[in-house]
Every structure is written in structure tokens, then in C-alpha cells.
Chains A and B, each alone.
Chain A
């Protein structure tokens, strides 16, 4: 197969950091090429060099595309050559229609007057291509993330794409939407569209990719062909070491019941009459990790947030007992006083103040712990931050570093530090390893094991079944706002969890 793209010896230096160091990447015509690497390894930087976000001259090295030297001055240049990147954060305007979004910036127009009949017709054709059954006038904001992702792809197709770059396209998607997207990728490949996919999900990569390039610390480690791809090999190249065990060992030692939730009901905050959580009940023991499994949108986050300070929903009823006593969790302060902590799934928007330094983020939920009569003791604040930096091995030049500059894994450790400083009895961790690379995942798991060894209880909400099976002593399965089953570690398997979800679906139909 002829070579479509060749990046040779790419160097990119930011003040104080060498982000890319002699990176080589060759993509052949018509293949799906996966790029793998830990967070901060340089994948996104490399794609920004390719797509012209960093223009020619701001990096060293050469890029050959369709046989010619590529000298992009900006994104428009690369898009003109058919190189289109779909970022992790979707770039759609939620209040505009599908048709308007598809041709944004490239309107079907003559002298600035839009030809709507033609635009709608073209929209229909493009939607058909990506397998989306929607009316062109539908507002994009009313569609789910999965469908929005497909619209992004349709938008790329509208621009006559020859090299499509997808940056973690399935990160926010449910299982079935992810499958649809991967199918579409294979279909586009059949139509001759060359694709680059950046992903953390190894099973997806092995499904669609023809070749895979692994980047570590800003350099290319290896490029493997489909027949050489194995999860162990990929992981070893990514982290630079063998990972014999993906989950740290722990001897389960559950004690008394720490927290017990009974008869928990929650209604949707805006839509009247829509019940989000239906009569949920669960408990956590001392020294126990309890998982909550379920598809996305089944109410796991809503359950956790409604318990933690009634931060979600309305008309909340039910009881929360801590150590046998009913406690009031109706505000975040009361929930924290009762011994609860909630680590959100959305680190950047709900967990951290990105522009503030590490130490201010750590002290935030327990300012009383570093203050006397409302006056802060900054020396104590710094001491506390240093202690957690060591205990959690947060990799940073110092605690005065802004958290926005940290990698996902280190940011998560800052959030965990913040909550541990409130000395909680039970931590609810919502997708604690989302968007975190393999090496840092292992560290987060180890921290969880330390927490239960200290006699705390952990509730882990996760969409990744292997992680739940590997870490949890018990797993609750949720579907449509209900807890539909409970499995012990011995009983649990992916099949049984899916079976519980499906049984509930069938019951609903009948």
C-alpha cells in the first residue's frame, strides 16, 4: 500500500518541556492507524502538529503528505488538504440544527445566501452515510453524545476528508454507541478513508486498527502490525515495564456495616414526574470495596450525587445510616460531617479549580482544618499539601503548581487528597480512572486498597467491567434507576452482570 503520510523526526519544544522528541509516524493509504500512549506522552501534541494547530516552523522535522512536503500555516490549510481532526471535546454548536452544524464555515451558499433545499438534501445523504436516522432540522443539543459524535464524522465527510483523525472518540460513549462508531470506522475504511485513532481502550484498538504506533515520553517506541498486537505487548510498550498484575493484590477483610442506604428515591430536577432513582438500597462495610455497575445513564452518578449533599435531583426520600445511626446528608457540609466523600466523574468541571495551585485545591473541602477562627494558617496548608504529595506520589515540581498543568492521573490524586483531608469513612468514587493512563490507573487502585486497609469503605462506580471485577468485593448492578442485582466477587462475571441488566429490560417490555 502506498504511503499517505510520513512524519519524520518531529521535535516540539515548549518552554521547559520537550513534548516531542524525534517522533516518526508512517500512515499508509486506506488503513486505520492507532496511536497509543500514556496521558502526556505526546499523542495530542503530535496530532496538533499534523493538523496545523502548531504551524509549520514552530516544530522541527518534516511531514510528507501525499508525497509532498506539508507546510501548514493553520487548521484551514490542513483541512483544505483533507486532513480533519475530531477532538475529544466535540466542536458542535448545540443550539443550531444538524444541517447548520454540518456546513458551518462551509455553507452551501451563493453570494452569502444559503441554499437550504440543497443543504438539507446533502445533509440527508451525509446522515445516511453515518447511519444516523435524524431530521436535518433537529437541534444538535437535543441529541445524545453518541449521535453528536456521528454528526462530527458527517461534518468531516462533508469536507471531503482523506485523513480522519479521531482523538479518543469513544471516551464519552456507552458500549453500544461505541460499537456503532467502530463499525462506522470500518465502513469508512472500506470506502477508502484513511484514519488515525487515539484511544486508551485496548479492546477497541485491537478490533479496528491495522497498525498501531506506541508513543512514550514524547518518542515513538514501536509500530506493530495487526498480527503482532496483543494487550500485554501494548501495555508493556506504553508504560515501559511488564504489568504482570493489572490490579494490585488485596486480602479482603470486610468488617461491620459502615454505611447503609435504604428506600432511596430521587426525582429529576427539571422534568416533573420523571423518577431517576427508584427505591435503591445498598450498604458498604468497613474495609470493603463495593462496585456499582450499569450502563451509562442508568442513574449511578445521580444516586451518588443525590446522597452526597442532595447535589442532584428533587423530592429526595430515603435514609442514610452511618454506623447504624440515621444521618442528615441534605447539604454537602452535612454529608462531609457525616463522614462521606464523593469524587466526581467530571474532574475538570466538578472536581478541581484548574487555575489554582495544588495546595489550594487540597485544602478546599476542609478549610477549617488549616484555619483557626476563620484565619488561614498558610504554613499548615503547605505542610498538608506536601504530606499528600508524598503519600499519593503526585508528580509535580511543587505544590504551588497549577493543577491545570498536571496529567489526568495526577489531577485525580489531587482530588483524592482533597477528600482524604476531610477524613471520610466512606468514599464514593465515580469513574475514578476515566481518562487516566494505564500506569496511573494502577496507582489509583493501590490508593483504593490503602483506603480500605485503613478501615474505610469505598464505593466504586465504573463503566469498565474488568476494573469492577478486578477491584470489588461486591458489585451492585443498576439499570433504569433501580438496583437490579447484587453479586459477590466469586459470583461476578461480565456475562452475569449483562444478564442482570437484560433481564430487567425484558421485564420492562413485558
Chain B
């Protein structure tokens, strides 16, 4: 027994960061549920959970791309302006020119890619510091947004475009399951999808564990593995159930989940992903190992541009209009999420799951503090301190 305990202790220490992040998120959720509950408001109500995802989807989507940029040892300050610009383009195309949604979406993504390419070109092939290039991009695309919108809002968008952000996956089972379970307003599809997702997560974890054991890697202690999986699966099913009792799964959540899985796989299990980490860890060594570092840096910025464009459309769809101020300051939320998520400032390290949890921590705090009626002034102070504390915690652990 003593031995198992020591194993768990040692393992917790070794994976302090990963487990700590999840614990921190849980603690923050519990904290706000308690505090908000004192005002007789249900923090974990179906509506608020739905809002939480709708409000923060753009941060998470961009944080996925920003992680790659930061892992490669760079930074992108222009994403907020690119959000504004692509939203404006979407508005002009849809509202003023009457393009259909299926043409507007790829057009905006292509524009995002072109913007990323234009910035990435100077950064990768001319070695202009990314801070400078994207600071310039930040000004340029904010300016272009103002010019394109003539300083005014353009809206509203047609329903089809709005559904990008405010749409929900329809319930395939109709009302049959509701009658069956004796519950009103339960979205069976949502429950089914979430339960399957939880099962897949547990199965993948179990498979990785079996593989570790087969290759003689010291596995995570069974108890830890069980607790972590139960917590994650329970949280997932709880959130899914709550969403199901409201309006079902938002489209954005599906987009978000698919992208998260895709990027997690890309960063951990593909040669291209591995090469980005190598390049961030030691660019010269990577280059001498036959890795085309310029091309990779270029592509991470193209990717960032595409995700910023996607975020731009989602933000525009949510507000149901494009405004000259849209996306202002988003770059800071996104970069903060990546660093809270445990990425290294010097490049070469950071995980997708950490970044998603980091973005959720920021999102839950935004949401909770707004419900409590805490002014925007204090909110900024608190968010700033949380970012600082997370990074100090990292550096402290590294030096220990």
C-alpha cells in the first residue's frame, strides 16, 4: 500500500502541470458555482454552459494555431485584426453582394490563408522578427477593416450564416426519446454523441496504457488513471447532458471538438508536428537534420491565418453583424490561453490539451466574473494576475 502511494505521489509530481491544469479548471468551476449560487443563480445551468462555449469558441480555435506558432518560437499579434477583417469581408460578401454561405466560408478561409502567407513569408524567408511583422499586420488589418466597413456596422446576416455560431445540431430522434425517458426537452443526439466521445477517450487512454506496459514504460498508477478518466468522462457527460436539456449541441462545439482532436493528433503523432517542436527546440540542429525549417514556419503562419479567419466568421455570426472593433484585443486572450496552457516562451514545448484547458480557464473566469457583476476593470487585473501566476508556477517548477 505504501508503495502504491509513493508511486502516485511521484507520478503526480512528474505530471504536476497536466493534472494541475485540470484540477485548476475544476476548482475554478466549483468556486464560481458556489459564489454565484449564493446569489441564487445556477452557474452550471444549461443556458450558461451553452453561453460559455459560444463566448469562448473563437479563443480556443485560435489558440490551437497559436500554440503551433509559439512552439515554433514565434508570436502572432495580428490575429485580432484578422478576425475583424475576415468578419468584415464575410459581411460585405454576404450582406452587400449576396453571396451564398457555401461560397463565403471558403473565400474567407482562403483570405485568411493569404494573410498568413503574406506575414509568414517575411518571417520565414527574410527572418524579420515575427513580433514586428505581425505588429505591422495588426495595424494594417485593423485599418483595412475600418476602410472596408467605412467605419460602420454591416448586418444582419442571413440565418444560414448565423448558424455557424448560433446553430445547434438537430435532434435526430425527435421526441421519441423524451417520451421514453419521461423527460421534457432532452436532445437524444447530444447525449449519444457525448457518451460515445467519453467512451472513445477512455478507450484511447486504456490503449495507450496497454502500449506503454508492452514497451516497459512505467505506467501511470492504476488508481490515478481510473480517477482521471472518471473525472474527465463524468465532466464530459455532465456538460453533454446539460446541453441536451437546453437546445442540444451547438455547431461550434462540434467544430471545436473536431479541430481539437485533429490538432492533438497532428502535434503528437505526425512527422510534420514533431518537426515543428524540433524547430522550436533548436532551429539550427533541426535544419542540420534535414528539416525544412523555413517552410514549416511559413506554414504555421498560413495555418494561423486560416484559423483566425474561421474565428472571424464565428464572431461575426454570433454578433450578427460585422463591426470595425470586432476582434480587438483577441490576440491577447489567445496568447494568454497558450501560456496558461503551459507552452514555453522560448518555443519547443506545449500541448494542445493544455491550451484548450487554458482557454477554458480564461473563459470560465470571464463568464463567472461577468455574472457576479465584477467590473471590466477588476476583470482585467484578475486575468492578468492569473496569467502571471501560471507562468511563475511553470518557471518555479522547472527550476526546482
Contact = CB atoms under 8 A, between A and B. Distances in A.
A365 B290 contact: yes
A356 B281 contact: yes
Contact of B290 (A332, A344, A375, A376): A332
Given A356-B278, A356-B281, A368-B271, A379 B211 contact: yes
Interface of B: 211, 214-215, 217, 269-272, 274-275, 277-278, 281-282, 284-292, 348-349
A349 B217 contact: no
A353 B274 contact: no
Contacts of A382: 215, 217
B284 A376 contact: no
B348 A400 contact: no
Contacts of A378: 211, 269
Interface in A289-311: 308-309, 311
Contacts of A69: none
A376 B285 contact: no
A374 B214 CA distance: 24
B294 to A, nearest CB: 11
B278 A353 contact: yes
Contact of A364 (B215, B286, B349): B286
27 contacts: A308-B288, A311-B288, A331-B290, A332-B290, A333-B292, A342-B288, A350-B284, A352-B282, A352-B285, A353-B282, A353-B286, A354-B281, A355-B348, A360-B277, A364-B291, A365-B290, A367-B271, A368-B271, A374-B271, A374-B272, A375-B270, A376-B270, A376-B271, A378-B211, A382-B215, A382-B217, A383-B215
A356 B217 contact: no
B255 to A, nearest CB: 23
Nearest to B347: A355
Most chain B CB neighbours (cut-off 10 Å) among A342, A344, A353, A356: A353
A459 interface: no
Nearest to B269: A376
A286 interface: no
Contacts of A376: 269-271, 274
The 9 closest A-B pairs by CB, nearest first: A353-B281, A332-B290, A365-B289, A367-B271, A333-B290, A353-B282, A364-B289, A371-B271, A350-B284
A344 B287 CA distance: 12
Nearest to B346: A355
Given A332-B287, A344-B288, A375-B269, 4 more contacts: A332-B291, A351-B285, A356-B348, A418-B289
A344 B289 CA distance: 11
Interface string A354-391: 11100010001101100100111011001100000000
A336 interface: yes
A64 B270 CA distance: 57
A351 B283 CA distance: 10
Contacts of B277: 356, 360
Contacts of B215: 379, 382-383
Contacts of B287: 311, 332
Nearest to B349: A355
A371 B268 CA distance: 12
A355 to B, nearest CB: 6
Nearest to B398: A355
A354 B347 CA distance: 13
A308 B288 CA distance: 9
Most chain B CB neighbours (cut-off 10 Å) among A332, A335, A360: A332
Interface string A334-351: 011000001010000111
Contact of B285 (A335, A336, A353, A400): A353
A355 B278 CA distance: 10
A477 to B, nearest CB: 26
Contacts of A375: 269-271
A29 B278 CA distance: 50
Interface residues of A, number: 33
B269 A351 contact: no
Contacts of A311: 287-288
B289 A332 contact: yes
Contacts of B278: 353, 356, 360, 364
Contacts of A400: 217
A308 B290 CA distance: 10
Contacts of A379: 211, 214-215
Contacts of B272: 374
A251 B277 CA distance: 43
Nearest to A383: B215
Most chain A CB neighbours (cut-off 10 Å) among B217, B289, B349: B289
Contacts of A360: 274, 277-278
A351 B271 contact: no
Nearest to B344: A355
Nearest to B277: A356
A52 B203 CA distance: 53
A367 B282 contact: no
A74 to B, nearest CB: 16
A418 to B, nearest CB: 7
A348 to B, nearest CB: 9
A351 B284 CA distance: 8
B392 to A, nearest CB: 19
A504 to B, nearest CB: 30
Contacts of B270: 371, 374-376
Contact of A351 (B211, B288, B349): B288
B290 A309 contact: yes
Nearest to A351: B285
Contacts of A308: 288
A349 B285 contact: yes
A334 to B, nearest CB: 9
B114 to A, nearest CB: 25
B271 A350 contact: no
Contact of A350 (B288, B290, B291): B288
B248 to A, nearest CB: 33
A383 B291 CA distance: 23
A311 B290 CA distance: 10
Contacts of B211: 378-379
B282 to A, nearest CB: 4
A400 B217 CA distance: 9
A353 B286 CA distance: 8
A367 B275 contact: yes
B288 A332 contact: yes
A355 B280 CA distance: 11
B220 to A, nearest CB: 14
A353 B217 CA distance: 22
A8 B282 CA distance: 41
B327 to A, nearest CB: 33
Contacts of B285: 349-353, 364
B17 to A, nearest CB: 14
A355 B281 contact: yes
Interface string A316-344: 00000000000000011101100000101
Most chain A CB neighbours (cut-off 10 Å) among B278, B290, B292, B349: B290
A355 B274 CA distance: 14
B282 A336 contact: no
Contacts of A418: 289
A28 B281 CA distance: 45
A375 B270 CA distance: 4
A365 B281 CA distance: 14
A16 B277 CA distance: 29
Nearest to A305: B288
B71 to A, nearest CB: 12
Most chain A CB neighbours (cut-off 10 Å) among B281, B286, B349: B281
A383 B348 CA distance: 24
Contacts of A332: 287-291
